[in-house]
Amino acid sequence: MKKFLLLLAGVSAYLSADAIQLTFYIGDQKVTPGQTVIFNNIEVTEYPEDEYKEVMMDPKLSIMSDFYSSDIKITADCTSGQIIQVCANGVCRSNQKVVLDKVKLQNGKKVDLGFEYRADLDLDEAIPTVVTAIEAEDVTESGSKVQFIIEMSEKSASVTAVEISDELQPVEGGIAYKVSGEVAPLRITSIVGINVFSANVNGEGIIALPKGLYVYTFGNRSGKIYIR
């Protein structure tokens, strides 16, 4: 039995040694496979004279591999029905479901996928929630596959709406807090759940953080806060 298990471990090690690891990124933040990522950094430009607004949702999606592959298949399926765009290998494709074959990835080099949703809407038209299932698959013997869902909207029903407290404010380069009285526990994570700050705070201070969207728990309150 022991020999069989050792043999099995050896075979597994051999097989997994060939499986490449694919990782998606939203900006600089790694995406946890299988997760639903909420993205709220929507650009809206209004043109009142022409009675329309431009909506742009660009989460800066990229992918990286830990090994060279010239046969990665990228699938982006907008399940909410909008037309989205994905680019790779010097070409872009736009449709409700986009499949790009034979995408080349080099070891350790991020590739920008040019994933975005853009639309011209009437001024009073609601900005849609764009939900897209994104998958990358190594179409070789390794068969590595990674997927996640991204939900892009002005606000998401599944997450507490952004609350700006007098005692917690986004400032240039970080988040400013002000606590009068007792110490308050403050915890801040990235939108993909990575812990960036966790401590009891009182008085005033600034937590230095790069720009982006964060989820916070501050005392008995929680919400989202965006640093520009």
Partner 1 sequence: MKKSLSYILMSAGLILAACNGIAEDDRYIEVESTKAERTVLLEDFTGQNCVNCPAAHRTIEALEEQYGSHLIAVSIHAGHFGIPATNKRYTGLMQEEGQAYNDRYGIEDYPKGVIDGKRPPVNADQWASDIFNEISIPTPLTVGVEAALSADGKTINISCSLKSSEQLSGNLVVWVIESSIIARQEDLNEGRINDYVHNNVFRACVNGLDGDAVTLSADNPETKTYSIAVKDTDTEKWAPENLAIVAFVSNSSGVQQAAKSNVITNK
Tokens of residue 109, six digits: 């080099």
- The verdict on 178 binding partner 1 (CB under 8 A) reads no
Are 146 and 94 in contact by the 8 Å Cβ rule? The answer is no
- Among 209, 228, 226, residue whose Cα is nearest residue 38: 226
Asked if 20 is part of the footprint of partner 1 (rule: CB under 8 A), the reply reads no
| Residue 114 makes contact with partner 1 by CB under 8 A | yes
Q: Does 122 bind partner 1 (CB under 8 A)?
A: no
121 sits near partner 1 (criterion: CB under 8 A): no
2: how many CB neighbours lie within 10 A of its CB? 6
Nearest to 223, CA basis, from 152, 151, 169: 169
Rounded distance between C-alpha atoms, residue 122 and residue 170, angstroms: 31
Q: Considering beta carbons, is residue 58 or 154 the nearer one to partner 1?
A: 58
Which element (helix H / strand E) includes 101? strand 97-105
- Longest pairwise C-alpha distance within the chain: 78
Q: By CB under 8 A, which span of 8-16, 29-37, 73-81, 87-95 interacts with partner 1?
A: 87-95
Q: Interface with partner 1 includes 157 (CB under 8 A)? A: no
- Comparing CB distances to partner 1, the nearer of 72 and 225 is 72
**Residue 125 near partner 1 by CB under 8 A:** no
Among 9, 16, 47, 198, binds partner 1 (CB under 8 A): 47
- Dist CA 119 CA 17 (whole Å): 44
Which of 28, 112, 125, 204 touches partner 1 (CB under 8 A)?
A: 112
Residue with smaller CB distance to partner 1, 120 or 125: 120
Which positions lie near partner 1, rule CB under 8 A?
A: 47, 50, 52, 83, 85, 87, 89-95, 112, 114, 118, 120
